[in-house]
A = this chain, B = another copy of it.
Amino acid sequence: MRDERERGGNLQSVNRALRALELIAEAGELGVSELGRRLDVHKATASRLVATLAERAMVERDPITEKYRLGFGLIRLAGAAMASMDLVRTARPILEDLADRTLETVNLGVLSGDAVVYIDQVTGTRSIVAVSWVGRRTPLHATSNGKMLLANLDDRERDRLLAAPLPRTTAATITNAGKLRAQLGEIRARGYATTMEELEEGLNAVAAPIRRADGEVVAALSVSGPAFRMRPVDLPRIGRVTMEAATAISRRLGYVERRRPAAG
């Protein structure tokens, strides 16, 4: 508790409790004494800690081994958030297929606050860089995923997000809200979004919307690769296959295509 303990808010026992959960998650199963050792506290402390966690069903006791493991309380807590995990499971095979087909990197992104967060990724074998973007947050206005999500927000939300300044990361970044707004219209009409070196030099991407049963856009699916392999002339074709893949995922989520939702 003397090492990296200097960040903002800090409640000792809360911190410990969360560390405990992480340790248990890592280990799968942990006994009281062992947990105490890893947390560097007396086993009595660890005992009381897990008892508290157990009371809230955050951990549960294996009736055989008497050790503690994570409990369903966590699942309940994450509930809504877990919907995205479900999305990952459902979408995975289609992401893989799309990556095979395009040989580029495929990403699945959702809106989180004012950024897009990638919740899954599959890299085509041809990909140069294999860094995982999962968990990464990237700006809405400079990514294809972000634009697609923006394009499908309701007006109030979109206005709020576009009111903030749009930071420039490359020469091509669209920093003008009006110009971006116009492009969002095109994107809705066309069905896929693009970025051309707007986030990173030499990186292009296209993205298509994923809808759940009620038609709401909940995520975006993107294919991204180096500008020399994804030239402007290639984008419509890649856009089409991306849209097909996204639609396939939407269908799995229960979405049934109706006539243009714009009308209704």
Is A57 on the interface with B (CB-CB < 8 A)? yes
Q: List 6 A-B contacts (CB under 8 A).
A: A13-B13, A14-B52, A25-B77, A25-B81, A60-B85, A82-B132
Which B-chain residue is minimally distant from A80 (CB atoms)? B25
A131 CB contacts on chain B under 8 angstroms:
83, 212-213, 254
Interface residues on A, range: 35 or more
A75 CB contacts on chain B under 8 angstroms:
78, 81-82, 84-85, 117, 119, 134-135
Is A129 on the interface with B (CB-CB < 8 A)? yes
**Structural contact, A136 and B79, CB atoms closer than 8 A:** yes
Is A215 on the interface with B (CB-CB < 8 A)? no
In the complex, per-residue mask of A103-135: 1 if CB is within 8 Å of any chain B CB, else 0: 000000010111101010000000111111011
Which B-chain residue is minimally distant from A256 (CB atoms)? B128
Residue ranges of A at the interface with B (Cβ–Cβ < 8 Å): 7-11, 13-19, 21-22, 25-26, 28-29, 47-58, 60-64, 69-86, 90, 110, 112-115, 117, 119, 127-132, 134-137, 160-161, 164, 212-214, 252-254
Number of copies: 2
A253 CB contacts on chain B under 8 angstroms:
130
**Structural contact, A84 and B14, CB atoms closer than 8 A:** no
Known pairs A11-B17, A25-B78, A79-B136. 19 more at Cβ < 8 A? A9-B50, A11-B13, A14-B14, A14-B49, A17-B18, A28-B80, A28-B84, A60-B112, A62-B86, A69-B86, A70-B81, A74-B74, A75-B119, A78-B135, A79-B135, A82-B132, A127-B254, A130-B252, A131-B254
